[in-house]
Amino acid sequence: MKQINYLLFDLDGTLVDSVPDLTTSLNLLRRELDCSPITGQQVASIVGDGVTILVKRALGEELYQSAHRDRFLQLYDEHLLDNTRCYPGIEELLNGYPADKMAIVTNKPYQLTMKLLDGLNLTRHFNMIVGGDSYAEKKPHPLPVIKALEGLSADPKQAVMIGDHHTDLYSGRNAGTATCFCAYGLGHSNSLKSDFRAEQPTDLLQLFPGSSFD
C-alpha cells in the first residue's frame, strides 16, 4: 500500500457524531409544520448529501419549500453544539498529524462547519477546510477534494479521503486519492470498494498512526 501523508476527512459521521443535534433541529422544524417527530435512526439514514436534500428527505418532497431549508439552518445554528461530540479516538488521531497534512471536506455549509469546529476546538488541526457551499460543486463531485489537495500542496497519490458515505468515496477516487470507508458512521458505501476500512473510530489510529510526523 502506498505511503499516506495527507488525511482528508468528512465531518459528520466520520469525526463527529452530530445526529442528536440534527435530530433536534429537524424535529423543531417538523413541529412548526405540525408534523410528528422522527427518530435519530431515521435522521442518520438521510444525512450525507447536503442540507437541501436532508431537509427534503426529512419533510418529504411534497411538503418541502426552500424557506424550510432556511428555517432549518436557523434552528441548527442554535443547537449545533448541544450534544455533538468527537467519536472516541478522533482527537488522538488528529494530534498525531500536523495541520498542514490535514483537511476537512464536508457537504455541511462552511459557516456551520467553522462554528462546529471552533466549538469543539478542532479548527487548529486543519490547514484547509472545505464546506458544501465553498465551491460550485460538492461531494460526490471531485472538485472539493481537488481544492483541498491544492490547499495542502498535496500529491493525491499520498492522500486519503476518509468518510462514511459513498459521496466521500466517489469524490476521493475521482480526485486520485486513496479512500477509507468509515463503517461506524451514518452513510453507506453503495457497494464501492475502498482502500481502507474502519469498523470503529479507533481503527483509524491503527490505519493512520502518523508516527512519521512525531
Query: Would you name the residues annotated as active-site residues?
Result: 10
Three-class DSSP category at 172: helix
Contacts of 16 (CB under 8 A, 6+ apart): 84, 85, 86, 87, 90, 116, 120
Contacts of 143 (CB under 8 A, 6+ apart): 135, 136, 137
With contact defined as beta carbons under 8 Å apart, do 108 and 21 qualify?
no
* Joined grid coordinates for residue 49: 448529501
Three-class DSSP category at 53: helix
- Beta strands 85-86 and 16-17, pairing class: antiparallel
